[in-house]
Structure formats: structure tokens, C-alpha cells
């Protein structure tokens, strides 16, 4: 397991606060109510470990297959439905949405290899990520990857807690399947907009892994 570079600053701040707060607590209360100091130490240590865990990148064997669409994020499939995309395609698409809880790995990966033909950041609200309106009203970053005559839109969506979307892609860039496309901090959601008729390999409420689970076939 390694730590994602997006977490270095957050982990450093959390560690610094942990040290300062516990030194202060032990200094003032250590000789009178030691149990309070120990309890506070345990709680703050758990918080630091949670921050470290959030930015983890676990070692895993990625699924590489040109004929398959690979899941871009860890989490649970919360939406499988046909919808009208008003942002890019202007037509009906098959939407597959993956909700990432704060306990999930939050690295986002390219579902296919190809060329980035669209990349757009949108300001917005911070509704809970499982709210259906979050796809169109929340802060989000949309990317379209084209492979031959197939185009797939990947939408990173901020949730009620997540308020920083990081995206590493640029229009015209050639990308490889399962390479990092971005990161979302602290709870979020990723939508995939696929061609109607795409054969899916996942079901509603299924737990999926980014870079590993096969969403569907091209």
C-alpha cells in the first residue's frame, strides 16, 4: 500500500494537530484526569489513521482489456438507468453511478484507453452524493474519452463532504485504461455515461473496485 500524493498535505496537518493538541491536553490535565487525556489521545489517533487510510492506494492487479469498460472508482453501484445527457451528447445514454463512501479508496481511473476529447469543470452545490440531482447540480468535473467510434463520459461529482475534485486529464491527451484520471477528497460519486445498449456486467447495489471490476463490454 502507498499513500496518494493528494494526501501529503492533509496528513501533515492532521499529524501536526494531533501532536499539538495532545501535548496541550497532557500538559494541563495529565496530573489530574489522566483518563481524559488517554481517551482524547485514542480519539485523535483514530482520526489521524482515518486520514491516512483515506488516501491509501492498495496494491491490486488492474484489469486491462481493450474490449471492456473498467470501473473508474471503488464503491457501490447506486444507479443503472437510461437518461438524457444535456451536457455533451444531447441524447439518451446509459448511466452507471458508483457512490464512494469516506471509507473507500478515492483514486479515479480511466475506464478505457483513448483520447480525451472533452474536459469541463462545473461549479455547483454540495448535495449528498446519492441524491439523483447531484449528477447535474453538484460541483463536478466531466471528461469524455473517445476510442474509435465509442465515446464514454466520466463525471466526478463532489458530495456533501467532498469539496475538492482533482482531475489530471487534458483535451487531446492520449490515456491508458486504468491509469489515474483524478481524485476526489472525502466522499463522492462517479457517473459513467455509456452508449445505450452497452452490455453491463454489474448490478444495482453491487460493490465494485476501481481498476478491477468490469462494468461492461464495448
pLDDT at position 123 is 85
Residue 188 annotated in active site: yes
pLDDT digits (tens, 9 = 90+) for 200-215: 999 999 999 999 999 9
Look up the CATH number of domain 68-217.
Answer: 2.70.70
Q: Is it the case that residue 97 has pLDDT exceeding 90?
A: yes
DSSP letters spanning the chain: -EE-GGGHHHHHHHHHHHHHHHHHHHHHHTTT-HHHHHHHHHHHHHHHHHHHHHTEE--------TTEEE-SSSEEEEEEEEEEETTTT-EEEEEEEEEE-TTS--EEE-SS-EEEEEEEEE--B---TTSTTHHHHB-EEEEEEEETTEEEEEEEEE-SS---EEE---TT-EE-TTSEEEEE-SSEEEEEEE-TT-EE---TT-EE-TTTSEEEE-
What is the overall mean pLDDT for the chain? 90
pLDDT at position 149 is 93
pLDDT at position 145 is 98
pLDDT digits (tens, 9 = 90+) for 118-177: 999 988 665 655 555 556 667 889 999 999 999 999 999 986 665 678 999 999 999 999
Pick the catalytic residue: 97, 135, 142, 188?
Answer: 188
pLDDT at position 131 is 57
Say which residue, 41 or 33, is predicted with more confidence: 41
pLDDT digits (tens, 9 = 90+) for 69-90: 999 999 999 999 999 999 999 9
Amino acid at each position: 500500500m502507498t499513500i496518494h500524493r493528494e494526501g501529503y498535505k492533509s496528513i501533515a496537518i492532521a499529524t501536526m494537530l494531533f501532536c499539538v493538541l495532545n501535548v496541550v491536553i497532557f500538559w494541563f490535565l495529565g496530573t489530574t484526569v489522566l483518563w481524559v487525556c488517554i481517551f482524547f489521545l485514542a480519539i485523535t489517533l483514530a482520526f489521524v489513521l482515518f486520514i491516512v487510510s483515506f488516501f491509501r492506494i492498495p496494491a491490486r492487479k488492474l484489469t486491462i482489456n481493450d474490449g471492456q469498460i473498467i470501473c473508474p472508482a471503488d464503491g457501490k453501484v447506486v444507479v443503472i438507468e437510461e437518461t438524457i445527457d444535456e451536457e455533451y451528447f444531447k441524447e439518451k445514454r446509459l448511466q452507471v453511478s458508483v457512490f464512494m463512501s469516506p471509507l473507500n479508496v478515492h483514486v479515479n481511473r480511466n475506464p478505457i484507453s483513448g483520447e480525451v476529447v472533452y474536459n469541463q469543470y462545473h461549479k455547483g452545490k454540495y448535495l449528498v452524493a446519492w441524491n439523483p440531482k447531484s449528477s447535474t447540480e453538484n460541483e463536478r468535473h466531466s471528461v469524455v474519452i473517445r476510442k474509435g467510434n465509442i465515446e464514454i463520459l466520466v463525471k466526478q461529482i463532489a458530495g456533501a463532504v467532498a469539496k475538492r475534485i482533482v482531475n489530471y486529464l487534458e483535451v487531446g491527451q492520449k490515456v491508458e485504461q486504468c491509469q489515474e484520471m483524478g481524485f476526489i477528497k472525502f466522499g463522492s460519486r462517479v457517473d459513467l455515461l455509456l452508449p445505450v445498449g452497452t452490455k453491463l456486467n454489474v448490478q444495482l447495489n453491487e460493490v465494485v473496485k476501481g481498476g478491477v471490476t468490469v462494468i461492461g463490454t464495448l
